[in-house]
Amino acid sequence: MSIFEKLESEVRSYSRGWPVVFDRAQGSRLYAEDGRPYLDYFAGAGALNYGHNNPVLKKALIEYIERDGVTHALDMFTVAKRDLLETLDEKILKPRELDYKVIFPGPGGANAVEAALKLARKVTGRESVINFTNAFHGMTIGALSVTGNSMKRHGAGIPLVHATPMPYDQYFDGVYPDFLYFERLLDDSGSGLNEPAAVIVETVQGEGGINAAGIEWLRGLADLCKRHGILLIVDDVQMGCGRTGPFFSFEEAGIKPDMVCLSKSLSGYGIPMALTLIRPDLDVWEPGEHNGTFRGISPAFVTAAEAMRTYWSDDELEKSVRAKGERIGAALQGLVDAYPEAELTAKGRGLARGLEFQNGELAGRVCAAAFERGLLMETSGPDSEVVKLLPPLTLTDAEVGEGLEIIDASVNAVLGK
Amino acid sequence: MSIFEKLESEVRSYSRGWPVVFDRAQGSRLYAEDGRPYLDYFAGAGALNYGHNNPVLKKALIEYIERDGVTHALDMFTVAKRDLLETLDEKILKPRELDYKVIFPGPGGANAVEAALKLARKVTGRESVINFTNAFHGMTIGALSVTGNSMKRHGAGIPLVHATPMPYDQYFDGVYPDFLYFERLLDDSGSGLNEPAAVIVETVQGEGGINAAGIEWLRGLADLCKRHGILLIVDDVQMGCGRTGPFFSFEEAGIKPDMVCLSKSLSGYGIPMALTLIRPDLDVWEPGEHNGTFRGISPAFVTAAEAMRTYWSDDELEKSVRAKGERIGAALQGLVDAYPEAELTAKGRGLARGLEFQNGELAGRVCAAAFERGLLMETSGPDSEVVKLLPPLTLTDAEVGEGLEIIDASVNAVLGK
Amino acid sequence: MSIFEKLESEVRSYSRGWPVVFDRAQGSRLYAEDGRPYLDYFAGAGALNYGHNNPVLKKALIEYIERDGVTHALDMFTVAKRDLLETLDEKILKPRELDYKVIFPGPGGANAVEAALKLARKVTGRESVINFTNAFHGMTIGALSVTGNSMKRHGAGIPLVHATPMPYDQYFDGVYPDFLYFERLLDDSGSGLNEPAAVIVETVQGEGGINAAGIEWLRGLADLCKRHGILLIVDDVQMGCGRTGPFFSFEEAGIKPDMVCLSKSLSGYGIPMALTLIRPDLDVWEPGEHNGTFRGISPAFVTAAEAMRTYWSDDELEKSVRAKGERIGAALQGLVDAYPEAELTAKGRGLARGLEFQNGELAGRVCAAAFERGLLMETSGPDSEVVKLLPPLTLTDAEVGEGLEIIDASVNAVLGK
Amino acid sequence: MSIFEKLESEVRSYSRGWPVVFDRAQGSRLYAEDGRPYLDYFAGAGALNYGHNNPVLKKALIEYIERDGVTHALDMFTVAKRDLLETLDEKILKPRELDYKVIFPGPGGANAVEAALKLARKVTGRESVINFTNAFHGMTIGALSVTGNSMKRHGAGIPLVHATPMPYDQYFDGVYPDFLYFERLLDDSGSGLNEPAAVIVETVQGEGGINAAGIEWLRGLADLCKRHGILLIVDDVQMGCGRTGPFFSFEEAGIKPDMVCLSKSLSGYGIPMALTLIRPDLDVWEPGEHNGTFRGISPAFVTAAEAMRTYWSDDELEKSVRAKGERIGAALQGLVDAYPEAELTAKGRGLARGLEFQNGELAGRVCAAAFERGLLMETSGPDSEVVKLLPPLTLTDAEVGEGLEIIDASVNAVLGK
């Protein structure tokens, strides 16, 4: 029995589908300890947008560690934090005319969500939050309450309350008007819907099955929130940092959320880091009212700032993401067309792409076939029925081609053509 | 206006008491950007037990980064995780005859607590948890529900339920028997106490004011839990990893908790990492029922394993912590005796020490005076009335002396002798 | 200042619209202390289906009191309870092929609802309940949680949880398919909807604005509940006891709810009494697990049994209710047609009828005008925009005519024709 | 199989211990249908303080019914309500210098409690309530949340939250100071106790086992509430209306609660009726914010007013209750002394008396033995270990003697002397 089997809890999941021991990683590739390379279309579930061990960030990181820069600093002032804030302001906020204030909520995306929900409730004096069908926002009780997956919800062991799910865009395949039910409940003082403090939304639902909300739907949601005095929280933990093209996934829609949650690829190097951005007038916290040990991990600040300077000083990455995303999208559509009887659906935006099968068993077999061929992809969606492609944004055109070939072969192997 | 004032949320707290910008750190010292050194009796709120940028860990860390070891791996198998688990088993669990299974709950202590509470509820089918007066377990909704501080609780914006506080050891100054109220409520089927899934406890309450539970009290609590079929969770996030002497703070009491939460100094280098250790028969999770992005930060695993090999292969650190702790305790008692009119109290165990003042204003002034003299200490306790000493465990005897001199001078300056 | 103004809480409401002191009542009429008669189209909010002080029931009641029959008996066996149960079985259950068991839940409708919800949760092990937009089920916390009106919900002072509102029949004016949203959420394991223990529904929403669910919708709901293993609770507190024609309002739909709540007109004389009827296999209570002081009010049992014998031994009352209801419905439709610019809507079924105005102000003025003319009617609906007609089922044809004339005049006075 | 067995839910309880069918009742006696008389030391669980079918009240009741006085009137003004309010003011409030306003909360005691809790939360903006060990306040979710009995709490099917139990007077047999734990938690901002809106208390816990709080304890509680800005709610549903001697059970302590809940014997005749009395400045309800169908049952108002006139115009009943109570208390103490090895305890105040056994089995056997001998008594307490005596206040001295003789014989039969 391996030490993993002996010691690690049954809750582990990824290692079940990919039963090898990984050792090194570089760019778009992971290497098992036997040296076998795997092309990574998973990218740390979106935490490695700039690739594994990105050399530019690696250089800055090692320099910082070597010179004994402060590593851990809670919310003290540090040179590293100053550089981060200045770079965030200069490269990200100002060019987009955003004047957010910054909360350091803790190390992970769930912390960014918990801080946003707490603040939204404190500001409005209301407890209830609107989430969307098939949302994923994290595993801590506050974040889990607004997450859709029933298996994960059961893990809470307590009834998850204070959240009401509304249909995400296209939940009824476009047959019914957007927000019909939501706005009717809000307008009707007898509806029984507790007045919501906030709406929390992903612009593209990654865990939910690569469901990409339309631009008009997002605008409609922002308008609805404004009309009803509800705070709009965009959870950009997975779709931010360029995953869909622009730094913030909501830019294309031209909306300005009241709060934004960032994490995953924020540090750029896979080191835990998260931010909650808030409208300045919402900054009503007492000092220390929300805190935590891992809010000032300077190595993450160093790589985050370096990533912003490297990738967000111009629009090259954004253009490249769009181009590669469209290429992948077209290839997936090709598969849809090639297997009409399988009733596949190609989904997604930018480099968050999905291929939906009729059931999770098929999608799982495609991922297993890809793994055998040296490609890492996971499934998502309520029934794990969507093959999910989240490659590093920095993958080369050759790696796009390589990945698509393996996907093609894997689908072929499973659908039996 | 600095970038900090412009961009950072009002929720920031440490930077208010220490309004300098830190740059570098080594061992027991932080250096401001103007080069001024500060002796650190705060140690990242207990996250830096082995000192800042510990050279042994730093070497292992840089080597790992330089050779492009996998950085971010969710719960995939990695060489780094295997080494961590083997070292944990070899250096920590086996010598203590503990057979825990290991959950990687997410990056921070609150994740370790959330996972423990979720699992305790799932296992028992009960929702309620017993916490203790002045407990601190984290800021996410699940963890915050079992945290005492009312200001932090108000930050939740929702009523925090499913937890009932019981008096911590010495809450009534030893006048009344331990667990009198708690056990009476459990034994009385008409008491109105919801049957608890678990008790969560810190052996020494750091944020609560350096309240050290007695050995007998801890044993009594473990017995009570066993008698009533309640799971015992020790939150060793701050007091584990040698803070009180032994690796686990509960070792001295000879108890075996059903679950243990670890974080803070676990990685040893200040990089986010947390573990929840559980009795093997409690491992009833479904795969993926609890997950999260930052559960496989290999650099943290590397430094964690290296720290275990370096500091926990023998009992030198443990002995040294006890010795230095006793020296500091004696010095604090000296201050208590020197200022009888001030009614001070010396508190703590190992290198978690406190000096309690009659109010928070005095304690705050002492910390401010110490800061002026180049020493970092924070206050804790419900009214911030306790000056809290959490130096790195690796501080030298000279640094003990240096710190005590500054504390002496600072108390002197405030109490006006 | 009257004793009412001096002593009675501001929460009083009916006395605001009808500022007279009532003294006597008989049949369809109330008499103020100055002798002025009022035709009663309100009927104790549905509690007086057989009219005020119905002489048949009155005779039985006085006889029972005079002979010192047990008045108050909790859940002891009494002659009066035996007669009630036998009559219920003989006149109501058996003819309808219903084999419900009977809970005596407490004196009022809210008790019947609380008992049903508690039992549904106990039986299924789930906490969540589905209610409908504009539902009204009572003012105690359990019943209020499934009630729609936001003003009344605010009165709780705690967040009302464990309930999710679904659109009632015609909520979107028939444009979208029934249960579209509800069933989609149930079928989607990622929807975020907590699995419901039960659905609670009124077949006609009285307080919600006299919204009558269609027969097909009710059947569809019953089917949906069966398919998904959700218990169906019909709250027949206001619409039962013949209000819509048959004894149970759901009879027309041919469905058999898992639980039925009865109260209001159950005793027939206005004395508090309630029942919860349950499918026999759901009777999993421990003895005394639900109890209460006023569960055995024998005078109410006496009048209830007498009412069943008198009015439910044949179908005369049912036919008469339908006929009078249709006459009133036609008259209301006449008003709709007569005032096209006012965009009125005629609503309801049986003798639960409503005339919806464009706003609450107009509806309130119509009720005030009717009061001046000697007719009692109240408004209902989320904005009090519906004039609600709930006359005694026993009103005479002449009283129908009299009431309709006053309504006609009142609408005329307000809409200015 | 009887109709009871066929139709009535298993939740029934009293009929299990007293398997006869009662028919008539008068004064202190119930008569089974076979004519057998039972001396009633149960009195409708305290709902029949003036005896069964009290002739003075009966006369007023029949007169009212015969003259067709309004029976059911929601919260409309009626002649009957005016008389009730004037009599309440004249006979009860003014003589005691109480200026409460009156809420008609619904028909039963649970409604009175629900209204009080809702209003306390609305007034203070806090959700949490302090209840006491072994409290009983009702079976609806709001009332059940502050009730102690674990079996009844399990019946809720949802976690009961927003309440924290504190030790009732003598919970630790007087060894520890009153309110030690409660006030320490309130004073400690780190205690984790949610700030309470209100304390709800019974001066004598009937269902909890006839635990009579001391006068000093009640005063201490009232002081504590005042000091901390917490509303004090006295639930006088069972102990009010003279059960302990004075009309309100708290009079002896000289305290003025912020809210008082009344029901049970309020109508005097066993007809459902309840009131919530509130400090005038707390009357912040919106009209209709709390409502309900059975808030204006005029027959109950008629008997209630008549009972106040008859029994509360002087202090005769109060004196008589005290005298009879002391006689019974002395007799119970005699049993305690006569059976030293049985370790009995005599408990109670006024005509709420109890004899505590070492376990519920013994107490149950005593009640069964008494039933065989023609005396009705029930058990109470968390383990049903207390034989509870709640005779009508109007029982004669002869009936006192008769009852005590049966009790004596029954205890003798069980304890085997």
Residue C341, SS3 per DSSP: helix
- Is C118:C291 a contact under the CB 8 Å cutoff? no
Q: Which residue(s) pair with A277 in the sheet? A: A102, A260
A149: nearest CB among C131, C147, C190 = C190
pLDDT over 90 (residue D176):
no
Nearest CA in chain D to A126: D125
Residue A232 three-state SS: strand
Tell me, what CATH number does A223's domain have?
Answer: 3.40.640.10
Which chain D residues in 352-391 lie under 8 Å from chain C, judged by CB atoms? none
Place of tokens 């919806």: C356
D265-286 mean pLDDT: 98
Report how far residue A125's alpha carbon sits from residue B299's, in angstroms, rounded to the nearest whole number: 42
CA atoms of B72 and B53, how far apart (whole Å): 21
Residue closest to A384 by CA, chosen among A346, A344, A357: A357
For A72, nearest residue in chain B (alpha carbons): B270
Between CA B236 and CA B49 the distance in angstroms is 13
Which of A4, A6, A12 best probes binding to B when mutated, by most B CB atoms within 10 angstroms?
Answer: A12
Inter-chain touch B101–A8, beta carbons under 8 Å: yes
∠ CA A310-A313-A318, rounded to 5°: 90
Q: pLDDT for D296-325, tens place per residue? A: 999 999 999 999 999 999 999 999 999 999
> What is the DSSP secondary structure assignment for residue C140, as one 8-state letter?
S
Residue at a domain's end among C311, C328, C352: C311
Mean pLDDT of chain B: 97
D286 and D149 within one domain: yes
Q: What per-residue confidence (pLDDT) applies to A175? A: 78
- On whether both D69 and D175 belong to a single domain, the answer is yes
Q: Do A167 and C184 touch (CB under 8 A)?
A: yes
pLDDT computed for residue D218 by the predictor: 98
Instruction: Please name which of D402, D282, D386, D395 lies closest in space to residue D336, comparing C-alpha atoms.
Output: D386
B68-96 b/e (C-beta count within 10 Å ≥ 16 → b): bbbbbbbbbbbbbbbbbbebbbbbbbeee
How many CB atoms lie under 10 A from the CB of residue D150?
A: 17
Report the 3 state secondary structure along chain D. Answer: CCHHHHHECCCCCHHHHCCCCEEEEEECEEEECCCCEEEECCHHHHCCCCCECCHHHHHHHHHHHHCCECCECCCCCEHHHHHHHHHHHHHHHHHHCCCCEEECCCCCHHHHHHHHHHHHHHHHCCCEEEEECCCCCCCCHHHHCCCCCHHHHHCCCCCCCCEEEECCCCCCCCCCCCCHHHHHHHHCCCCCCCCEEEEEECCEECCCCCEECCHHHHHHHHHHHHHHCCEEEEECCCCCCCCCCCCCCCHHHCCCCCEEEECHHHCCCCCCCCEEEECHHHCCCCCCCCCCCCCCEHHHHHHHHHHHHHHCCCCHHHHHHHHHHHHHHHHHHHHHHHCHHHCCEEEEECCEEEEECCCHHHHHHHHHHHHHCCEECEEECCCCCEEEECCCCCCCHHHHHHHHHHHHHHHHHHHCC
End-to-end, the C-alpha distance of chain A in Å comes to: 39
> Domain boundary residue among A291, A311, A331?
A311
Task: State percent of chain D over pLDDT 70.
Answer: 100
| Calpha distance C121→A233 (Å, rounded) | 34
From B168, which residue of chain D is nearest by alpha-carbon distance?
D191
Q: Is the pLDDT of residue B288 over 90?
A: yes
Count of C-beta atoms within a 10 Å radius of residue B67: 10
The pLDDT value recorded for residue D173 is: 82
**pLDDT for res D21:** 98
Q: Are residue A192 and residue A151 in the same domain, yes or no?
A: yes
Q: What is the dihedral of CA D203, D206, D211, D213, to 10 degrees?
A: 0
Alpha-carbon distance of C311 to C316, in angstroms, equals 8
**How far is the C-alpha of B70 from the C-alpha of D37, rounded, in Å?**
87
A187: Cβ contacts below 8 Å, ≥ 6 apart: none
For residue D137, which phi and psi values (nearest 5 degrees)? -130, -5
Neighbours of C2 (CB within 10 A): 13
What H or E segment, with its residue span, contains residue C69? none
- The answer to whether C22 faces chain A, any CB pair under 8 Å, is no
pLDDT in tens, B145-193: 999 999 999 999 999 999 999 999 999 887 777 798 899 999 999 999 9
Mean pLDDT of chain D: 97
Residue pair A292/A105 in contact (Cβ under 8 Å)? The answer is: yes
| Cβ-defined contact of B176 to D180 (cutoff 8 Å) | yes
Nearest CA in chain C to D67: C24
The pTM of the full predicted model, rounded to 2 decimals, is 0.97
**C3 reaches B (C-beta below 8 A):** no
D158 and A158 within 8 Å at the Cβ level: the answer is no
Q: Which candidate in D158, D276, D376 is best for mutational testing of the C interface (most C CBs within 10 A)? A: D158
Quick one: C7 and C73 in the same domain?
A: no
Confidence grade of residue B336 (pLDDT, cut at 50, 70, 90): very high
Give pLDDT, residue D410. Answer: 98
Q: Tell me whether residues D290 and C117 touch, CB distance under 8 A.
A: no
What angle do helix axes A79-87 and A298-311 make, rounded to 10 degrees?
A: 30
User: Looking at this protein, which amino acid is placed at residue C412?
Assistant: N
User: Does A125 touch chain D if contact means CB atoms closer than 8 Å?
Assistant: no
Chain B environment of A35 (Cβ under 8 Å): none
Q: If contacts are CB pairs under 8 Å, which of residues 262-291 in chain C contact chain D? A: 263-264, 269-272, 278, 283-291
Considering only the beta carbons, identify the residue of B159, B190, B383 that sits closest to D189. B383
Contacts of A153 in chain C (CB under 8 A): 192, 194
Looking at the fold, whether D122 and D39 belong to one and the same domain comes out as: no
| Domain co-membership, A295 together with A331 | no
In terms of Cβ atoms closer than 10 Å to its own Cβ (0-12, 13-18, 19+), residue B340 is exposed
CATH number of the domain residue C331 falls in? 3.90.1150.10
From B298-312, B398-412, D1-15, D168-182, the region with the lowest mean pLDDT: D168-182
Provide, as residue numbers in chain A, all residues whose Cβ is less than 8 Å from the Cβ of C162.
159, 161
Which chains are adjacent to chain C, needing at least 3 Cβ pairs under 8 Å? A, B, D
Q: Please, which pLDDT band fits residue C1 given cuts at 50, 70 and 90?
A: confident
Mean pLDDT, chain A, rounded, equals: 97
To the nearest whole angstrom, how far is the Cα of A253 from the nearest Cα of chain B? 25
**Which residue in chain A has the smallest CA separation from D126?**
A125
> Do C7 and D101 touch, CB atoms closer than 8 A?
yes
Q: Do the strands C375-376 and C378-380 form a parallel or antiparallel pair, or are they unpaired?
A: unpaired
Query: Are D250 and D361 in a shared domain?
Result: no
Chain B CB within 8 Å of residue C416 CB? no
Which pLDDT value is given to residue C318?
98
State the Cα–Cα distance between residues B361 and B383, nearest whole angstrom. 9
Per-residue pLDDT, C402: 98
Angstroms from C366 CA to nearest CA on chain D? 19
Interface of A with C in 205-224 (CB under 8 A): 208-209
Beta-carbon count within 10 A of A151 CB:
13
Q: Which of D66, D68, D299 sits opposite C26 (nearest CB)?
A: D68
Enumerate the residues of chain D whose CB falls inside 8 A of the CB of residue A158.
Answer: 159
* Per-residue pLDDT tens over the stretch D52-85: 999 999 999 999 999 999 999 999 999 999 999 9
Whether the CB-CB separation of C402 and C391 falls below 8 Å is answered with no
> D390 and D246, same structural domain?
no
Do C103 and C20 share a domain, yes or no? no
Residue numbers of chain A with a pLDDT score lower than 50: none
Question: What does the pLDDT read at residue D416?
Answer: 83
Residues of chain C positioned with their CB less than 8 A from the CB of B159: 158-159
Residue C66 burial (C-beta neighbours within 10 Å; 0-12, 13-18, 19+): exposed
Amino acid at D227: R
Q: What is residue C128's three-state secondary structure?
A: strand
State chain A's maximal CA–CA distance in angstroms.
64
Domain ends where: C280, C296, C311?
A: C311
D111/C108 Cβ within 8 A: yes
| D382-406 residue pLDDT tens | 999 999 999 999 999 999 999 999 9
Cβ atoms of residues C178 and C169 within 8 Å: yes
> Cα separation of C402 and C399, whole Å?
5
* Cβ atoms of D230 and D196 closer than 8 Å: yes
Shared domain check, C193 and C88: yes
Calpha distance B193→B186 (Å, rounded): 7
Could you give the C-alpha distances from A215 to A166, A220, A245, in angstroms and in order? 18, 9, 14
How many whole angstroms separate alpha carbon C106 and alpha carbon C86? 20
pLDDT for C176 equals: 79
Burial class for D417, CB neighbours closer than 10 Å (0-12, 13-18, 19+): exposed
Confidence of residue B414 (pLDDT cuts 50, 70, 90): very high
Smallest Cβ–Cβ distance between A78 and the set B12, B21, B72 belongs to B21
Structure tokens at D285: 């309800």
D228 touches chain B (CB under 8 A): no
Q: Cα(C91)–Cα(C88) distance, rounded to whole angstroms?
A: 6
Please give the residue of chain A at the shortest CA–CA distance from B284: A10
With contact defined as beta carbons under 8 Å apart, do D217 and D178 qualify? yes
B147 and B125 inside one domain: yes
CB atoms within 10 A of CB C247: 23
Number of residues assigned to chain D: 417
What is the residue range of C401's domain? 3-53+317-415
Mean per-residue pLDDT for D357-367?
Answer: 98
Place of tokens 């401010």: B368
> What mean pLDDT comes out for the span C27-31?
98
How many domains does one find in chain A? 2
CA distance B156 to chain D (A): 12
CA A222 to chain centre: 20
Residues C276 and C406 in one domain: no
Q: Is residue B149 less than 8 Å (CB to CB) from chain A?
A: no
pLDDT at B417: 64
Take residue A350 and report the two structure tokens written for it: 């930018």
